[in-house]
Structure 1
Amino acid sequence: MINIYNEINALEATFRKTEEFEALQEAVAVVKADEDALKLFQNFRKVQMNLQEKQMAGEELQEDELVYAQKTAQLAQQNEKILAMLEAEMKLSSVIEEVNRILVKPVQALYEGI
């Protein structure tokens, strides 16, 4: 019997060697090295997480919270270092989505024709 976790761990090691992961790793390092960019990103992330937590809890989001979140996102995206990091993250997300599509193919195939 195959141990899928050994295979997944090998895939994880390969994943770390992809251009997309390495680009994100470098972009994160650039943001971390810039105190202003780091603080701006940390605030942006904190606002995002708070909104997500409220949504998951079924709480209604207030207009002022949404406006503040938009302004925080705009400020973060105006910083070229943060923007480069977010773009690198999106490219890496595309790889993850493709891997996920490949992984679920066997399950989808099982349901074809039902």
Structure 2
Amino acid sequence: MANIYDTINQLERDIRDQDTYKDLVAAIEALKNDEEAYGIYNEFRALQTSFQLKAQMGQEITEEDEKNANELQEKLAGNAVISDLMNKERLLNTVVEDINQAVTRPINEIYQSLMNKEQN
């Protein structure tokens, strides 16, 4: 029987060797080196955090919040460095989602067999 933790550690190394991972690392470095893009990115993170806090506290998102979010969305879309970063994130996320589906497939099959029995 294979040691699952050895497999996980190998998977981590394999992810780091993927071009999609290396491309994301390069995109992050480009962001760090572009003051304008870095500022917009930090503004975006702050807005996300404020929205999450409001949601946790049961507070409504105001029209002003929505206006700020729309303006920030335009800044994000108009910045080539951030657009490239978001594209690289999306590509690596696809790989991670595929891995997650493969890892959880045996568990999902167990519960699917339970549901199939209940339907019979």
Q: Same fold (TM over 0.5)?
A: yes
* Pair 1:10–1:35, CA change in 2 (3 A): same
Query: Which residue does 1:14 correspond to in 2?
Result: 14
Query: Which residue does 1:56 correspond to in 2?
Result: 56
Residues 55-98 of structure 1: CA deviation (Å, up to 9, x unaligned): 23432211211221121121012000110001110111111111
One-letter amino acid of the structure 1 residue matched with residue 14 of structure 2: T
Residues 32-71 of structure 1: CA deviation (Å, up to 9, x unaligned): 1111111111111211222123223432211211221121
Calculate the TM-score normalised by the size of structure 1: 0.88
- Any stretches of 5+ residues in structure 1 without a counterpart? none
Larger Rg: 2
- Cα RMSD (Å): 1.7
One-letter amino acid of the structure 1 residue matched with residue 73 of structure 2: A
- Residues matched between the structures, number: 114
Residues 10-46 of structure 1: CA deviation (Å, up to 9, x unaligned): 2112111111111111111111111111111111121
The separation in 2 between residues aligned to 1:31 and 1:102, in whole angstroms, is 32
Give the 4+ runs in structure 1 shifted more than 6 A.
none
Calculate the TM-score normalised by the size of structure 2: 0.84
Query: Which residue does 1:5 correspond to in 2?
Result: 5
Query: Which residue does 1:101 correspond to in 2?
Result: 101
Asked whether the 8 Å contact 1:48–1:69 carries over to 2, the reply is no
Q: Which is worse superposed, 70-79 or 58-67? A: 58-67
The separation in 2 between residues aligned to 1:36 and 1:112, in whole angstroms, is 50
* Pair 1:104–1:39, CA change in 2 (3 A): same
- Any stretches of 5+ residues in structure 2 without a counterpart? 115-120
The separation in 1 between residues aligned to 2:54 and 2:9, in whole angstroms, is 34
